[in-house]
């Protein structure tokens, strides 16, 4: 795709094709200002101001664009995204106002994943001008982070295993002069026993590991960002059916979110002490796979009976949460493609959000609405924790009554978070099953921009 850094540029009065945004209500007034030929062109294209619809209108030796939005005075991130997908290559300017939030969708709409295509589409860039020059870099950074999530999730598991996640983390750490530490092999078994146990059946090339990045002034508030990095989930010995396995390359979507959020934090120089953790594994089937009924040790000292090997994400996150808690961070945020129950309750567009503190939930939900990245809060209802009781260990990794699956998984994770630590958990789908303007089918960042906006509001000077 085109270099995103060239797709939004300062408006210095350079030559550009005009884009007029109208609503169903304002369109009749707009039409009155056009000549007969222009009105005929609109009629021929059956344009009436509907959302995402557009028309090309002749204007002497050139032309301009008319596009429908719900409210020209309050643009969302997606109001101009369809235009970025379908207009000819060139430079464009919104007439009568600035694109504002719609700059993000303009960038996002020009994303494509062509890594495996022998004849990738080669299209020239569609450049948008803005007078809000100070907003350009921040918008480019958010779009780049979103693109990173999409690229990582869209890449098949053979090419996006634990080693490739590690390589991505190394690249970002090097770019921002961060410290990186990767724990593998015998050290992983000693220090992160559940990560080791879940990933030990994978081939050597996809061996499990814990990836950690540390960055920032140690005097600044400590913030931990954690992402579930199950690069492929067969279900283990409780193997999934083929239909359930088809999208499991995306089971490292939480890791993709964590890496992308770390990139945003470091790129902006947010005054925090960042600790990013990605437990990277493949949940494979082999003679040494962990079994239903096994009892696993954990870093936190909590013994875990395995009720189902397909509930492996919460196991690797448990070790990561325990490690993060040891440094008593001011805040932990984790991202995970954790439960089908969250998808059944909220569908693909809304990550399930669980937090210990109401204020943290309110801040994240408000940031999500403001940035067109909504989430929905689910409860950490303490009485449900009894459903995780084990007859032989401290806790079971699953429950059998079928109720409140997302919340019960959240309560499992809560056991591994240090007492009194502010913690937020996103059960995200990381995938878009149907394309929408600016949001193509495939890997998707859901909860990323909400988290980033909240962190800036909370920690920026």
Catalytically active residues, by annotation = 240, 314
Whether the CB-CB separation of 234 and 245 falls below 8 Å is answered with: yes
What's the gap between Cα 155 and its chain centre? Answer: 15
Query: Which residues neighbour 387 within 8 Å (Cβ) at sequence distance 6 or greater?
Result: 399, 400, 401, 403, 408
Task: Evaluate whether 57 touches 34 at the Cβ level (below 8 Å).
Answer: yes
Q: Is the dihedral of CA 456, 457, 459, 461 positive or negative?
A: positive
CB-neighbour burial class of residue 259 (10 A; exposed 0-12, middle 13-18, buried 19+): buried
Burial of 39 per CB tally in 10 Å (0-12, 13-18, 19+): middle
- Characterize the bridge pairing of strands 431-432 and 442-443: antiparallel
**Torsion sign over Cα 182, 228, 173, 453:** negative
Q: What angle do CA 310, 315, 317 make, to 5 degrees?
A: 120
CB-based contact 319:183 (threshold 8 Å): no
Neighbouring residues of 399: CB distance < 8 A, sequence distance ≥ 6: 307, 387, 388, 405, 408
Encoded tokens for 56: 């090309």
Residue 215 dihedral angles phi and psi, to the nearest 5°: -155, 150
| Spatial contact of 153 and 431, defined as CB atoms under 8 Å apart | yes
DSSP-derived secondary structure for 136-188: HHHHHHHHHHHHHHHHHHHS-GGGSSHHHHHHHHHHHHHHTT-EEEEE-HHHH
Map residue 372 onto helix, strand or coil.
coil
The Cα–Cα gap between 126 and 243 comes to: 38
Q: CA-CA distance, 291 to 150, in Å (whole number)?
A: 33
């Amino acid at each position: 795709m085109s270099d995103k850094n060239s797709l939004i540029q300062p408006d210095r009065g350079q030559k550009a094709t005009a884009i007029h945004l109208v609503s169903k209500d304002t369109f009749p007034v707009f039409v009155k200002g056009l000549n007969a030929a222009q009105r005929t062109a609109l009629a021929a294209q059956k344009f009436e101001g509907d959302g995402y619809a557009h028309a090309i209108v002749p204007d002497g030796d050139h032309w301009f664009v008319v596009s429908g939005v719900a409210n020209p005075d309050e643009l969302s991130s997606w109001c101009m995204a369809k235009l970025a997908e379908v207009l000819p290559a060139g430079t464009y300017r919104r007439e009568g106002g600035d694109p504002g939030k719609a700059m993000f969708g303009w960038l996002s709409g020009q994303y494509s994943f062509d890594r495996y295509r022998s004849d990738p589409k080669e299209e020239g860039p569609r450049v948008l001008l803005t007078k809000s020059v100070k907003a350009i870099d921040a918008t480019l950074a958010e779009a780049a982070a979103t693109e990173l999530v999409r690229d990582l999730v869209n890449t098949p598991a053979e090419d996006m295993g634990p080693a490739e996640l590690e390589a991505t983390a190394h690249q970002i750490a090097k770019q921002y002069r961060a410290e990186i530490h990767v724990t593998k092999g015998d050290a992983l078994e000693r220090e992160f026993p559940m990560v080791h146990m879940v990933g030990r059946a994978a081939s050597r090339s996809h061996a499990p590991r814990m990836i950690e990045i540390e960055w920032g002034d140690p005097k600044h508030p400590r913030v931990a960002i954690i992402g579930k990095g199950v690069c492929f989930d067969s279900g283990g010995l409780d193997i999934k059916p083929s239909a359930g396995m088809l999208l499991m390359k995306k089971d490292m979507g939480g890791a993709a979110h964590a890496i992308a959020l770390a990139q945003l934090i470091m790129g902006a120089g947010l005054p925090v002490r960042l600790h990013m953790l990605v437990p990277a594994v493949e949940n494979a089937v082999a003679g040494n796979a962990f079994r239903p009924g096994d009892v696993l040790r954990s870093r936190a000292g909590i013994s875990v009976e395995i009720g189902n090997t397909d509930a492996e994400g919460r196991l690797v996150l448990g070790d990561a949460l325990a490690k993060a808690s040891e440094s008593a961070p001011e805040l932990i945020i984790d991202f995970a493609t954790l439960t089908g129950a969250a998808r059944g309750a909220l569908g693909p567009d809304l990550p399930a959000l669980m937090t210990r503190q109401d204020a943290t939930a309110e801040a994240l939900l408000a940031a999500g609405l403001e940035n067109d990245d909504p989430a929905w809060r689910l409860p950490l209802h303490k009485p449900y924790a009894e459903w995780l009781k084990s007859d032989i260990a401290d806790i079971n990794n699953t429950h059998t009554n079928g109720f409140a699956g997302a919340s019960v998984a959240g309560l499992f994770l809560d056991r591994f978070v240090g007492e009194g630590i502010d913690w937020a958990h996103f059960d995200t789908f990381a995938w878009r099953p149907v394309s929408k303007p600016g949001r193509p089918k495939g890997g998707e960042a859901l909860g990323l921009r909400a988290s980033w906006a909240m962190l800036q509001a909370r920690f920026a000077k």
